[in-house]
Amino acid sequence: MGSGRVTVCLVDAENEFQQVVRKDAETAARQAGLEIETHWSGPKLSAQLAQVRELVDSPTPPSAILIMAVRDQGLGRIAEHAARAGIHWIFLNRSEDNIQSLRVQHPALAICQVYPDEVETGRVQGALVSALLPGGGKVLHVQGSMRSVAARDRTAGTTEALDSSRFKLVPLEAGWSEEEGYNALLGWLRVAVQANMRFDVVACHNDLLARGARRALADVARDLAKPELTAVPIVGCDGTPSVGQAMVKQGEMAATVVLPRSSGPAVEIVGRALSGQGLPDAVITLHATPFPDPADLRPGQG
């Protein structure tokens, strides 16, 4: 399809979803006849900015940079620096940085965002919760950092999908890691159980939070002699085969949302741009799917 070198900039090498993103990019690059390399920045914006600047200023810069931004804002200037160097630039998650002016100033480059429709992701999770609680109920909603657009959009979608006359969403902001989910839920559960607060489902913004939630439920069930806590259904999100889908198959979660991975489509966009087959729209949104299908869930399935 084309020739060139693609650099994928990701954040966390220990994160299973991002490892799948890397593998998808490598597969798409082989199919397109492109060289590909992956760099990991860690969670600090300053480190990601320094990493990208080094790539752009190197004697042999890449043809394209595909980047999963550490934060929703803060990469606008480095994206402009890359564009001035003639490098195609694609965000692999939603960014609030303005790329429209870059597209106008550099009309020959593929500059865009490719990401899951996170509001729809929340709606899919809401449909799974509805299937587990057809009569309605109380949902403990374990959220990622609400500084994140993804977390806010997922929350909006789930809220929209669950009829407020039948469902009560109880928000609990945790973060994104298993330990953050465990610690946030552990403290909340101890208070909730002692106050006789009831909840029917735990819905988590990702599968790592869900894994932390499962551990917290088991520990509090043991410590406070509340074995019924271990039967509370958990719904996750990300849905990689080796984590989220495996947790569902093993009975550790009732269901999860399988997020689409943006790196494969992004590499295809670069391949078309490098071979002169056209440039993308500014925003390409991808669609999540439930696992399993809501119709296959039994009410109250834990």
**Contacts with 264 (C-beta within 8 Å, 6 or more apart), sequence order:** 24, 25, 27, 28
pLDDT of residue 32: 94
Estimate to the nearest angstrom the gap between the alpha carbon of 263 and the chain centroid.
Answer: 13
What is the reported pTM? 0.90
CA 55: distance to chain centroid? 25
What is the C-alpha radius of gyration for the chain, rounded to an integer number of angstroms?
21
pLDDT for 1 equals 43
The domain segmentation of the chain, as residue ranges, is 5-116+260-286, 118-258+291-296
Question: What is the pLDDT at residue 96?
Answer: 87
Right CATH for 118-258+291-296 from 3.40.50.2300, 3.10.129.10, 3.40.50.10190, 3.20.20.10: 3.40.50.2300
pLDDT tens track for 122-180: 999 999 999 999 999 999 999 999 989 999 999 999 999 999 899 999 999 999 999 99
The pLDDT, as a whole number, for residue 169 is: 96
The hierarchical CATH code for the domain 5-116+260-286 is: 3.40.50.2300
Domains 5-116+260-286 and 118-258+291-296 share a fold: yes
Spans of the chain below 50 pLDDT: 1
